[in-house]
């Protein structure tokens, strides 16, 4: 048993915060509330004095690349688990674009078995929606779901053929599966490497227009309307997409969406002098788009903030911008980067934490992330104010492609619990931890 006392309890589901304590027993939250004052727990409970720091449900990250199987030099389940735990992520959904692709129940089984041995945080695979991510034939959605896949999508690729997409959606609806799709028209995006506009034009870079995203999103929603599938737009990046999702939700479609923490806190100007660590897919957009995403987050139009963790080694990033690989690591910086929005008073802390835990959990129908009795004790204790400077050499990932290299961030995870077990603790940060 663990008793957390003197905690600032932030419950994203209830949308409120209170002072009090929380009792963990048998991997679950046994009791929670203001009545659990200092030392008022049962006999034998290990007491952690939170000293007024935030206690909240562990973060749920719906999109991260882990290189098992096939790209272990970029990330292993073990290193991803350490990074996630340090970043307060207790549930991680991994991308299907491994080698081999997660398009077969045996691979789902492999990942889950490896994760049980190597990972302290909960790992769930997102399976491919089409075989080999080729966009032609749907995968065994039913069998993959039974094996443990929590969603279906083709990673950073869109299914371009609308007929294939329609059939996959209607089939997924019957199997009650979530389709989580990357929305970018491959022809409009072509060889682009940056948001279309003045910045890309000045840098002379081939660019990706916003319409590449919105046209695919509109198509998907038209298909979602006639199929009734549970649809998740995995990574939206621009203002128009927020509007489109808002309308779909108002209409009553079963639609959710995610946005990466990078797109909420950075914009195309950060690419600066061809900084390849800022080369992302979808590309960073304009400041107006960033603000619209934040507004959509505050309103609840956006359900999930994801790390979109994508480790890339030196060889693929130290290239001319257009030839460099997309992607940025983000497990350990997701919370602190997202807290920038709280510190700049663009969003409240409970709302932010909702989009980092309860929102994504609901989108993929994972167990509810709430501070209530009976819920799994997947918890974080964090200091939202503590300043730190990102030192890539201290991050767990073998790859160091962080867009927050040497950035000053505020907010640090002091302790992480998964199923009541402490999987990460900053030594000496809190009495009893």
What is the DSSP secondary-structure string of 256-314? EEEEEHHHHH--GGGGTTT-GGG--SSPP--HHHHHHHHHHHHHTS--EEE--B----H
Rounded distance between C-alpha atoms, residue 280 and residue 209, angstroms: 14
Span interacting with other proteins, options 80-88, 111-119, 318-326, 405-413, rule CB under 8 A: 318-326
| Nearest-approach distance from CB 276 to other proteins, in angstroms | 9
| Nearest-approach distance from CB 214 to other proteins, in angstroms | 15
DSSP state of 403: T
Which of 308, 310, 378, 383 is flagged as catalytic? 308
Distances (CA, A) of 200 to 208, 235, 240, 318, 325: 9, 21, 20, 19, 17
Reported as half-sphere exposure (CB side, CA atoms, 13 A), residue 335 has a value of 34
**Cis status of the peptide bond prior to 69, with omega within 30 of 0:** yes
Span interacting with other proteins, options 146-154, 193-201, 256-264, 301-309, rule CB under 8 A: 193-201
Applying CB under 8 A, does 200 fall inside the site for other proteins? yes
Q: Which of residues 268-287 bind other proteins (CB under 8 A)?
A: 273-274
Applying CB under 8 A, does 312 fall inside the site for other proteins? no
Applying CB under 8 A, does 374 fall inside the site for other proteins? no
Q: Which of residues 16-45 bind other proteins (CB under 8 A)?
A: none
Among 57, 209, 296, 311, binds other proteins (CB under 8 A): 209
Query: Is 154 noted as a catalytic residue in this protein?
Result: no
Among 199, 231, 364, 404, binds other proteins (CB under 8 A): 199
| Nearest-approach distance from CB 324 to other proteins, in angstroms | 9
* Backbone phi and psi for residue 88, each to the nearest 5 degrees, phi listed first: 85, 10
Among 203, 254, 295, 298, binds other proteins (CB under 8 A): 203
* Backbone phi and psi for residue 323, each to the nearest 5 degrees, phi listed first: -100, -5
Among 187, 202, 250, 374, binds other proteins (CB under 8 A): 202
Span interacting with other proteins, options 157-165, 166-174, 203-211, 331-339, rule CB under 8 A: 203-211
Rounded distance between C-alpha atoms, residue 124 and residue 23, angstroms: 27
Q: Which is nearer to other proteins, 23 or 278 (CB)?
A: 278
Max distance between CA atoms of the chain, in angstroms, equals 68
Rounded distance between C-alpha atoms, residue 331 and residue 343, angstroms: 20
Among 129, 205, 278, 366, binds other proteins (CB under 8 A): 205
Altogether, the residues listed in the chain come to a count of 433
DSSP state of 424: E
| Nearest-approach distance from CB 24 to other proteins, in angstroms | 51
Among 65, 110, 171, 321, binds other proteins (CB under 8 A): 321
Smallest CA-to-CA distance from 104 within 143, 69, 159 is with: 143
Span interacting with other proteins, options 7-15, 165-173, 201-209, 289-297, rule CB under 8 A: 201-209
| Residues binding other proteins: number (CB under 8 A) | 22
Rounded distance between C-alpha atoms, residue 63 and residue 191, angstroms: 23
Q: Where are the beta strands (DSSP E) in 65-177?
A: 89-94, 122-127, 151-152
Q: Which is nearer to other proteins, 161 or 319 (CB)?
A: 319
DSSP state of 356: I
Span interacting with other proteins, options 190-198, 291-299, 342-350, 366-374, rule CB under 8 A: 190-198
Applying CB under 8 A, does 406 fall inside the site for other proteins? no
Q: Which residues contact 370 (CB under 8 A, 6 or more apart)?
A: 11, 12, 13, 14, 57, 358
| Nearest-approach distance from CB 322 to other proteins, in angstroms | 5
Among 315, 345, 374, 428, binds other proteins (CB under 8 A): 315
| Nearest-approach distance from CB 405 to other proteins, in angstroms | 15
| Residues noted as catalytic | 308
Interface positions with other proteins (CB under 8 A) = 196-207, 209, 273-274, 315, 318-323
């Amino acid at each position: 048993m663990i008793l957390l006392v003197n905690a600032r309890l932030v419950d994203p589901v209830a949308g409120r915060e209170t002072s009090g304590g929380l009792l963990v027993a048998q991997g679950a939250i046994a009791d929670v509330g203001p009545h659990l004052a200092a030392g008022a727990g049962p006999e034998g409970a290990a007491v952690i004095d939170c000293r007024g720091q935030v206690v909240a449900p562990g973060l749920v990250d719906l999109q991260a690349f882990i290189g098992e199987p096939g790209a272990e030099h970029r990330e292993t389940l073990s290193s991803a688990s350490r990074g996630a735990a340090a970043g307060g992520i207790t549930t991680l959904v991994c991308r299907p674009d491994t080698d081999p692709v997660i398009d077969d129940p045996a691979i789902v089984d492999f990942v889950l078995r490896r994760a049980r041995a190597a990972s302290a945080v909960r790992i769930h695979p997102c399976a491919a929606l089409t075989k080999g991510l080729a966009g032609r034939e749907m995968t065994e959605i039913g069998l993959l779901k039974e094996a443990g896949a929590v969603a279906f999508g083709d990673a950073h690729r869109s299914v371009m053929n609308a007929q294939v997409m329609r059939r996959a959606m209607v089939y997924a609806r019957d199997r009650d599966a979530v389709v989580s799709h990357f929305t970018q028209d491959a022809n409009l995006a072509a060889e682009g490497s940056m948001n279309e506009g003045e910045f890309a034009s000045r840098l002379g870079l081939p660019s990706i227009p916003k319409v590449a995203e919105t046209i695919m999103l509109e198509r998907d929603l038209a298909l979602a309307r006639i199929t009734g599938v549970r649809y998740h737009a995995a990574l939206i990046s621009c203002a128009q997409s927020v509007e489109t999702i808002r309308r779909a939700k108002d209409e009553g479609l079963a639609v959710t969406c995610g946005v990466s923490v990078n797109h909420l806190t950075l914009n195309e100007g950060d690419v600066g002098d061809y900084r390849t660590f800022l080369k992302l897919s979808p590309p960073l957009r304009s400041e107006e788009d960033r603000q619209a995403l934040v507004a959509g987050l505050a309103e609840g139009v956006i359900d999930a903030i994801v790390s979109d963790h994508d480790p890339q080694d030196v060889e693929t990033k130290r290239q001319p911008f257009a030839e460099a690989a997309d992607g940025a690591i983000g497990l350990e910086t997701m919370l602190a980067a997202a807290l920038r929005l709280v510190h700049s008073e663009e969003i409240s802390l409970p709302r932010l934490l909702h989009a980092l835990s309860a929102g994504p959990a609901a989108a993929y129908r994972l167990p509810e992330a709430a501070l209530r009795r009976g819920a799994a004790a997947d918890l974080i204790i964090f200091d939202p104010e503590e300043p730190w400077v990102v030192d890539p050499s201290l991050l767990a990932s073998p790859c160091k492609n962080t867009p927050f290299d040497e950035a000053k961030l505020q907010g640090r995870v002091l302790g992480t619990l998964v199923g009541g077990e402490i999987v990460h603790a900053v030594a000496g940060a809190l009495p009893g931890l």
